[in-house]
Amino acid sequence: MKPGKVLVAQGGGPTAVINQSLVGAVLEARKFPRVERVYGALHGVRGIINEDFLDLTQETTHNLERVADTPGSALGSTRDKPDEKYCAEILKVLMAHNIRCFFYIGGNDSSDTLRIVEDFARKAQYDLITIHIPKTIDNDLMVNDHTPGFPSAARFVASAFAGINLDNRALPGVYVGVVMGRHAGFLTAASALGRKCRDDGPHLIYLPERNFEIGQFLSEVKSIYDKLGRCVIAVSEGIHDAEGTPILSSMLARTLEKDAHGNVQLSGTGALADLLTNAIRDNLGIKRVRGDTFGYLQRSFLGVVSDVDQREAREVGEKACQFALWNNACGTVTLHRVGHYAVEYRLDPMISVAGKTRIMPDAFITPQGTDVTDAFKFYLTPLLGSGMPDAFRLRAPRVPRILPGS
């Protein structure tokens, strides 16, 4: 990196550990004399074109450490997906401030933005290091073993289903929990880690990697309910029919809000859970049917976090800075599993993750398509971190009945 300023920004949905990456990059960058200042852009790329910068060189290390432990995007985030004109604006501002290194913490859309900015800088013969720092609760980045943010969200989902299973066992019925994940089912699949005993829920798991058919769904629910007298179901918000149309769109007439990327709004509404619980109630004649949409709790809940995730999120930020300052290299920091359990970080070409989506491999899904394999449980278990709460049952013997006719 040429002498000048470092800029950090956060894009897309916040996670429980995205501030670890921010702080990892900022603290490391502040060590190098070549770095004149470390700026933070408010609300992602939007803050760049608006010149809304904080001077993070003047933030205390103590407070940065506290912010690192706080969920949400401390700099603010954005859903803007810059086109070429927008990226040209970004470069103009970077050049005006003599910013020589730009770290963008985000998912596959954010890496695509960096790819364009990097291309423009090269054409303008402006020395700029761009590094993408991965984060997403969806775990849908290519190349990576997993993505910072996902393990903490997975811990929330597994803990939630462990509790829901206890509740459902106490007051039996059917329960549908809708989990985030538009194209990749990793987070929904994490619900399986909430199970302990053989008859624990979730008893059925529906992923966007498989087509969803309502008739099949109802018969699978009936089969579990007939056997156990209860049924806990984990459903991805992204389930779709054989044509790829989201179930919510294909079954509801109401026009749904679409976001800037042209996607139908799936989160922040209870519509899918209500649609499925109504279908169960109306078709199977089961009385106690409940549905919850985990919504924003699963990515922002204060106090549920994986310490493994915290550690790795910190390191991807720190490594990004080291790749920039020591190696003078652009790219995306990627996370690789090199043991059970250990990881290594690499710098890969931006193009390897930019704009691409990784989904669950077939080896993680059972042939029936409504559960995960032991391979997936082996993959996810170390990521959930230490101190996962456990659930216990009474195992006292039954008392023989003594009244006639009972």
* 138 secondary structure, DSSP code: T
| Partners of 223 in the β-ladder | none
Stretch that binds a second copy, among 51-59, 120-128, 199-207, 328-336 (CB under 8 A): 51-59
Q: Which stretch binds a second copy (CB under 8 A): 91-99, 202-210, 238-246, 337-345?
A: 91-99
Interaction between residue 337 and a second copy (CB under 8 A): no
* Residue 181 counted as an annotated binding residue: yes
How is residue 183 annotated by DSSP?
S
**Residue choice 2, 83, 127, 163 for contact with a second copy (CB under 8 A):** 163
Indicate whether 344 belongs to the interface with a second copy (CB under 8 A). no
In the complex, what is the shortest distance from the CB of residue 369 to a second copy, in angstroms, rounded to a whole number? 26
Phi-psi region of 52 (alpha: psi -120 to 50; beta: other; left: phi over 0): beta
Site for a second copy in 240-299 (CB under 8 A): 257, 267-271, 273-274, 277, 281, 287, 289-297, 299
93 binds a second copy (CB under 8 A): yes
- 67 binds a second copy per the rule CB under 8 A: yes
Q: Is 391 in the site for a second copy (CB under 8 A)?
A: yes
Side chain identity at 342, as an amino acid letter?
A
In terms of DSSP bridges, do strands 53-55 and 35-41 run parallel, antiparallel, or are they unpaired?
antiparallel
Q: Is 180 annotated as a binding residue?
A: yes
Residue 372, classed as helix, strand or coil, is strand
Q: Is 200 a catalytic residue?
A: no
Residue 306: partners with Cβ closer than 8 Å, 6 or more residues away: 17, 151, 152, 154, 155, 383, 384, 385
Contact window for a second copy (CB under 8 A) among 105-113, 138-146, 165-173, 348-356: 165-173
Kindly tell me which residue out of 50, 219, 223, 263 binds a second copy, with binding defined by CB under 8 A.
50
| CB neighbours of residue 339 within 10 Å | 8
Binding pattern to a second copy, positions 176-215, x when CB under 8 A?
------------------x---------------------
What lies within 8 Å, CB to CB, of 145 at 6+ separation is 335, 336, 337, 343
Nearest to 177 by CA among 263, 284, 298: 298
**Do residues 224 and 286 make contact, with C-beta atoms less than 8 angstroms apart?**
no
User: Which residues are marked as active site?
Assistant: 138
Residues comprising the binding site for diphosphate?
A: 13
User: Residues at the annotated binding site?
Assistant: 13, 108, 136-138, 180-182, 237, 296-299
